Amino acid sequence: MDSSPIPAPPTGPAPSSRAEDSAGSHDLDLVSRLEVIEAQPLAGRADAYASLHDELAARLDADVTGRAARS
C-alpha cells in the first residue's frame, strides 16, 4: 500500500471559460424572458412560448449542424 498523503482539493472559485460565461449569460437572458412571458395574460403566453420554442429549436439545430460540418 502506498502511504502517500492525498492532496487537498484546490480552494477558491473554479476557473471558467468564455463559453461558460456566455452560457451563464444566455441562462439569465432565458430566465428574464420566461419571467416576462409569465407576467402576460394567458392568451399571450401561449404565443410567446411558441415563439421562444421556435427560436431555441432553431439555435439548437444551427449548433448541431455547425458541429457536424466541423467534424
Q: Model pTM greater than 0.85? A: no
Question: Which alpha helices (DSSP H) does the chain contain, by range?
Answer: 18-38, 42-70
Question: What is the overall mean pLDDT for the chain?
Answer: 75
Average pLDDT value for residue range 58-65: 86
Q: Using one digit for the tens of pLDDT, what is the confidence trace for 13-47?
A: 444 444 445 566 778 899 999 999 999 999 899 99
CA–CA dist 10, 25 (Å, integer) = 26
CA proximity to 35, closest of 26, 45, 21? 45
Q: Using one digit for the tens of pLDDT, what is the confidence trace for 46-60?
A: 999 999 999 999 999
Q: What is the DSSP letter of 39?
A: T
The predicted pLDDT at position 31 comes to 93
CA–CA dist 39, 21 (Å, integer) = 27
Domain boundaries, the chain: 41-71
